[in-house]
Amino acid sequence: MRQPALFAASVLLALEARPSFAKTVKGPQVSTDRVGSADIQPADGSDPDAKVARERTEVSLLIPIPAEVLGGMIALRDEFFNEHRTYEGADTGGEPDDVKNPNVAGLGLVYLPHPKEGAPRFFLGAGRYGELSVFQDESKPMKEFIIGADAADTDMPFALKFSPTDQAESRLLLRYREFPGFHRWLLLVGHRIEQNNGFTLDAVIPSHVLASFTFGGGAWTAYTGIRWVGREYPFDTGFAKGWIEGSVTTRLLGLRRQLVGPLHLALEGGMQKENLRYVDDKGEELSAHATPFAPWARAALETWIKTL
pTM of the model: 0.86
- State mean pLDDT over 291-304: 95
150-197 pLDDT, tens digit per residue, is 888 776 666 788 888 888 888 899 999 999 989 999 999 999 999 989
Write down the domain spans for the chain: 4-306
pLDDT of residue 19: 41
- Taking 80 as the threshold, does the pLDDT of residue 14 lie above it? no
- CATH number, domain 4-306: 2.40.160
pLDDT of residue 16: 45
Query: Could you give the percent of the chain with pLDDT greater than 70?
Result: 85
pLDDT of residue 17: 40
Q: How many CB atoms lie within 10 A of CB 217?
A: 7
101-132 pLDDT, tens digit per residue, is 888 898 888 888 877 777 788 888 999 998 76
Amino acid at site 90:
A
54-98 pLDDT, tens digit per residue, is 999 999 988 888 777 777 788 888 889 999 999 888 665 566 777
- State mean pLDDT over 250-256: 97
199-239 pLDDT, tens digit per residue, is 999 999 999 999 999 998 888 999 999 999 998 988 887 77
Taking the C-alpha atoms of residue 80 and residue 213, their distance in angstroms, rounded to an integer, is: 30
pLDDT of residue 65: 80
| Higher-pLDDT residue of 88, 7 | 88
pLDDT of residue 274: 96
First to last CA, the chain: 28
pLDDT of residue 18: 42
Maximum mean pLDDT: which of 37-46, 110-119, 214-223, 245-254:
245-254
- Taking 80 as the threshold, does the pLDDT of residue 26 lie above it? no
